[in-house]
């Protein structure tokens, strides 16, 4: 039996809910706890505003006000379509944990001593990270196998922020492509050992928003496939060489306009 813990950024995270419910259906995988980060932390909001700027306001609005409604249940490949296909039952992780009788914890931060104490008591084999900021080494050291994360970019070439747009701006859509990478987390930014990768096939008319929506569905697939492979002992990780890629940061809106133009030019040639 592989003992697992799921870390989530918010109780109604659709991505986290799909993964959590899928894991409960897997043989020999036991979710020993669901730990959700509190959304109200002045220190974290200050840190994230410094990183994301005004985009943080949009992110909060999407999570707390729009929620699942930002996805169309009928068009394209997105989490809402995937949730319907998988028969997702629960609207929150809180209700999922209560119904299935999984210990549920709300913490100020995943790196907070309270969270570390919970994890040290459980001694999980693996942690599934579905968002909620950077994780520090004391937490990363706890699980026997490691902390699994899925990145919306191809590693090692594209680490960090806005890598979908950076791939387009650098003209590497054919060379590298758009995709997601499942990896173990370490104390760097997307620098941990790689387990699985999957790319998407572009169609005419797609936007960056469409690409990101499809990548989120692939992230779910990779998380579950990775869980099965690690449980069965059929999946091994491959270390990254730091020199093989670079870390990208939040793209300036003016550069993003150019990225959109390059994506449009690429689409017209499909």
- Reduce the secondary structure of the chain to three states and give it as a string: CEEEEEEECCCCCHHHHHHHHHHHCCCCEEEEEEEEECCCCHHHHHHHHHHHCCHHHHHHHHHHHHHHHHCCCCCCCCHHHHHHHHCCCCCCHHHHHHHHCCCEEEECCCCCHHHHHHHHHHCCCEEEECCCCCCCHHHHCCCCCEEEEEECCCCCCEEECCHHHHHHHCCCCCCCCCEEEEEECCCCCCCCCEEEEEECCCCCCCCHHHHHHHHHHHHHHHHHHHHHHHHHCCCCCECCCHHHCEEECCCCHHHHHHHHHHHHHHHHCC
Backbone φ/ψ region at 37: left (φ over 0), alpha (ψ -120 to 50), beta: beta
Torsion-angle region of residue 89: left (phi > 0), alpha (psi -120 to 50) or beta? alpha
Quick one: pLDDT at residue 263?
96
Is the C-alpha dihedral spanning 118, 181, 171, 266 positive or negative? negative
pLDDT at 43: 57
Find, among 133, 149, 134, 219, the residue nearest to 185 by Cα: 149
Rounded Cα distance between 267 and 161, Å, is 23
Beta-ladder partners of 179: 199
Consecutive 10-residue averages of pLDDT for the chain (270 residues): 98 98 98 93 58 57 54 73 96 98 97 98 98 96 98 98 97 97 97 98 92 97 98 98 94 97 90
Question: pTM of the predicted model, to two decimals?
Answer: 0.90
Rounded Cα gap, residues 90 and 31, in angstroms: 16
Overall residue count recorded for the chain in this entry? 270
Cis-peptide into 210, omega within 30 deg: no
């Amino acid at each position: 039996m592989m003992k697992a813990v799921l870390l989530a950024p918010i109780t109604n995270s659709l991505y986290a809910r799909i993964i959590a419910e899928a894991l409960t259906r897997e043989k020999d995988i036991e979710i020993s706890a669901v730990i959700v980060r509190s959304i109200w932390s002045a220190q974290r909001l200050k840190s994230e505003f410094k990183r994301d700027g005004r985009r943080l306001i949009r992110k909060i609005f999407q999570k707390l006000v729009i929620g699942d409604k930002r996805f169309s249940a009928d068009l394209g490949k997105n989490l809402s379509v995937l949730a319907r296909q998988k028969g997702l039952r629960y609207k929150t992780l809180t209700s999922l944990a209560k119904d299935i009788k999984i210990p549920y914890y709300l913490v100020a931060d995943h790196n907070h001593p309270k969270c570390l104490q919970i994890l040290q008591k459980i001694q999980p084999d693996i942690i599934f990270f579905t968002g909620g900021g950077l994780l520090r080494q004391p937490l990363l050291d706890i699980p026997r196998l490691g902390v699994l994360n899925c990145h919306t970019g191809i590693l090692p070439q594209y680490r960090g922020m806005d890598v979908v747009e950076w791939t387009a701006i650098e003209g590497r859509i054919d060379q590298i492509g758009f995709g997601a990478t499942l990896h173990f987390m370490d104390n760097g930014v997307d620098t941990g050992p790689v387990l699985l990768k999957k790319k998407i096939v572009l169609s005419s008319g797609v936007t960056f928003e469409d690409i990101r929506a499809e990548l989120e569905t692939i992230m779910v697939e990779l998380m579950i496939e990775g869980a099965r492979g690690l449980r069965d002992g059929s999946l091994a990780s491959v270390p990254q060489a730091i020199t093989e890629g670079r870390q990208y940061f939040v793209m300036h809106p003016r550069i993003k306009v150019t990225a959109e133009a390059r994506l449009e030019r690429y689409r017209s040639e499909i």
